[in-house]
Amino acid sequence: MKKRQLLWISSSVLAVVALTLTLLSPDSTKEQSEWHAVGNGNLGVHHINDGYLLYPVATTYVPGVNGSKLTEYKLGTKNGYILEKDGGNIQPVQISESTLAIGSETVSIIKVNGHAFATDRTDIKRVSTGFVVGSREYYTNIWLVSEDGSIAKPLVNTDGYSEAKQKLKRINKDKGEDMVSLVWAANPYPLHKGDKIAYLSNRTTLSNDWNVRVINSDGTDDRVLIDGAGYGGINIVGTTDNLVIAHTTVNKLIVANSETGEVKEINLDGLFPFSVSPAGHVLLMTQNNDIRVMDLKTGSVSKTNMPSGYFYNTGGDWSDDGKRFAFYANGFENIDDSKLYRDNIQVAVLDVTTSKIETYGKPPGSASLYPLGEIQWIGDSQLLTYTVNDTAWLVRVPK
């Protein structure tokens, strides 16, 4: 079981989402998969000693879901749950909400049984002594936050910030739409179980050539690991114990060792990377609506057996051992063409040791799985999912 004690969250004020639940049997290729209701809320998962804390997270809805005519909206719930380790008994638990100032922004934090969480799971990256918040709107810093969510302190030294702003203002004077924004520190990722942090910055380049920097968790030894010059843009895909895996706009994969400083480039030839396994040996990429599996040690790439008529869209979650990746397989064709969102979606699990995908269908009934909702492992044989009628479900999958 993975122990996640520190979390990285974005700094915009985030809402929480409401859900309801029902029970069903799968419409899938795996007839033996079992579905059952968990409780109210689109739920995130946190591992604790005697089981799992399930806590509400934010969800943005696409047009047409729940009758929405807007581009997006969010609902709120204050329901949390404790699920016993064996996946059996589920007990409701009270949660509280608070906001914490980080520079000129605030972050919304919920608390369950003394544990603090962000309401946007996509930015959670736990480490060891609390959690880290990266500025999403102004990119002025990254903050270390205490485990209970009550104290935040900036990590990156800001000496020279005002001077850089003024210099960039002069640079941008005649650039029009090509203006460059100052990114002092953004998009943090943990290394060495949180002893080091990788992040993006253009404070030395004052251009769209961002660098990947690494800093110790006490704020010391802040240095450039990947020089972004010539890449035309760079983004961190993931990190392992000592590696930073990044993707550039010129479609190169950059693998950098934070200990030795060694940087390796790999041409991707149309492949788009989106997730690194917890152990750091496997990189998942998309190409032609399919998923490809790259062995980062050898560079070899394997094609998967994506079900005919389906494609990978977004999101997903790794099993604790890093051997399986769960995601929603989206159908090219809708079941009901009158809906304004994709309603033909199945739970799918990729075994990266074989590059084989198994599908487990959806809950019974008319409600489809929501493509931007949560899908998360609970233990090694259950997945937590979410449907468009605001319903959370557990599905049991074979080991």
Q: Is residue 2 situated within a structural domain?
A: no
Residues 6+ apart with CB under 8 A from 173: none
The verdict on residue 279 lying in a domain is yes
Question: Does 36 map to a domain?
Answer: yes
Contact between 80 and 54 (Cβ < 8 Å): yes
Domain residues for 384?
8-396
The H or E element spanning position 238 is strand 234-239
Token pair in block for residue 144: 């270390």
Global pTM value: 0.81
pLDDT of amino acid 230: 80
Length of the chain: 399
Determine, yes or no, domain membership for 297.
yes
Question: Which residues, in sequence order, are bridge partners of residue 128?
Answer: none
CATH number at residue 78: 2.130.10.10
- Tens-digit pLDDT string for the chain (399 aa): 333 333 333 332 222 222 222 222 333 345 446 888 776 667 878 777 778 888 777 655 544 445 443 333 343 456 778 888 766 688 888 777 777 888 777 777 777 777 777 655 445 566 667 787 787 778 899 888 887 778 888 999 999 999 999 999 999 988 877 789 999 999 999 888 788 999 999 999 999 899 999 999 899 999 999 999 888 789 999 998 899 999 998 889 999 999 999 999 999 988 999 999 988 889 999 988 889 999 988 889 999 999 999 999 888 999 988 999 999 999 988 887 777 777 889 999 999 999 999 999 988 777 788 777 779 998 888 899 988 777 888 899 987
Q: Are 365 and 341 in contact (CB under 8 A)?
A: no
Query: Among residues 187, 250, 259, which one has the least CA distance to residue 223?
Result: 259
In a domain, 1, yes or no: no
Q: What is the pLDDT of residue 78?
A: 63
What pLDDT, on a 0 to 100 scale, did the predictor assign at position 347?
Answer: 94
Q: Are 4 and 46 in contact (CB under 8 A)?
A: yes
SS3 label, residue 65: helix
pLDDT for residue 241: 83
Residue 247 β-bridge partners:
235, 253
User: Number of folded domains in the chain?
Assistant: 1
Q: Is residue 46 part of a domain?
A: yes
d(CA 168, CA 181): 8
Find all residues with CB under 8 Å of 298, minimum gap 6, and list them. none
